[in-house]
Structures are given as C-alpha cells and as structure tokens.
C-alpha cells in the first residue's frame, strides 16, 4: 500500500506492536510522541480507548501474551487514538484468524465514538464480508 495522507490512520500486519510493552503502553506511545502529552495524560487516554472498545482487561498484556483479537484491538486503539478522519484496515483476515472477523470489526466499530470512515482493504473476494459487517442494512 502506498504512503497514505496525514488524515489516515492504519491498522496492518506490518505495523506491529512493541513486544516489550504492554497494550496500554503501546497505545499511550501515540499521544506521548505524536501530540506531546505528558506520560500520565497519555496513559489516561490509552486506558479510556481500551475501555471504550470494551477491552480494558488487556491493558497489562504484552504482545506475546495476547490473542490475535487482543493484538488487533490494541493496534486499532493505537490507530483510533490519533483521531484521524479515516481509518484503513489492511487485510484483517491475516490478523484476525481466531474470530469471525467481519462481525468482530462491526462490533468494535459500533463501540467507538469515531466519526470518520473505516475502509477495509483485502482481496476482492472478501469485500462482501465487510460490506455486510460495516453496512448491515
């Protein structure tokens, strides 16, 4: 995938978590370094994001101790905390092999206060899965 504009946040397999950090710390790095918040405020924002997604319990887990779904939630929280208008999820099936990922993504999307768009890039034969998950009409 080519370089994305500044208004896009991305969740992708090739954007891994820091294995030596907890889920909370992986998320808190974003406001700490991108927005220059204090460490305390960054942790507070990261915890709030995990709570909003319904995964506050994974805060102390490090990458090797997470399930694929927990790892995805951490990556998603890290992307959402940027507050960008567009979220790109690149090949979620490669990351979410332990859950029914279209439903899982839909549930997470419903729990966020994100007002931006969520775009999923995957193989063309999987597009029907996502259109049903994100537009359940």
What's the pLDDT tens digit per position in 23-75? 999 999 999 998 889 999 999 999 999 999 999 999 999 999 999 999 999 99
Measure the CA–CA gap between 60 and 5, rounded to whole angstroms: 32
Q: What is the 3-state secondary structure (H, E, C) of 106-126?
A: HHHHHHCCCCCEEEEECCHHH
Choosing among 3.40.109.10, 3.10.200.10, 3.10.180.10, 3.40.50.300, the CATH entry for 13-134 is: 3.40.50.300
The per-residue DSSP string of 31-99 comes to HHHHS---HHHHHHHHHHHHHHHT-GGGTT-BGGGS-HHHHHHHHHHHHHTT--SEEEEE-HHHH-TTS
Measure the CA–CA gap between 48 and 43, rounded to whole angstroms: 9
For the chain, what are the domain ranges?
13-134
Predicted structure pTM score:
0.87
Dump pLDDT digits (tens) for 102-123: 889 989 999 887 778 888 888 7
Q: Which residues neighbour 111 within 8 Å (Cβ) at sequence distance 6 or greater?
A: 52, 53, 54
């Amino acid at each position: 995938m080519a370089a994305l504009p500044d208004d896009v946040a991305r969740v992708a397999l090739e954007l891994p978590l820091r294995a030596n950090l907890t889920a909370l710390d992986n998320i808190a790095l974003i406001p700490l370094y991108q927005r220059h918040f204090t460490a305390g405020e960054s942790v507070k924002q990261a915890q709030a994001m995990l709570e909003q997604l319904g995964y506050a319990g994974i805060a102390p887990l490090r990458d090797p101790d997470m399930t694929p779904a927990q790892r995805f939630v951490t990556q998603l929280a890290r992307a959402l905390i940027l507050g960008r208008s567009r979220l790109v999820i690149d090949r979620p099936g490669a990351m979410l092999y332990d859950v029914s990922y279209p439903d899982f993504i839909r549930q997470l999307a419903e729990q966020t206060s994100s007002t931006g768009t969520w775009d999923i890039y995957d193989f063309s034969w999987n597009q029907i899965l996502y259109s049903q998950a994100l537009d359940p009409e």
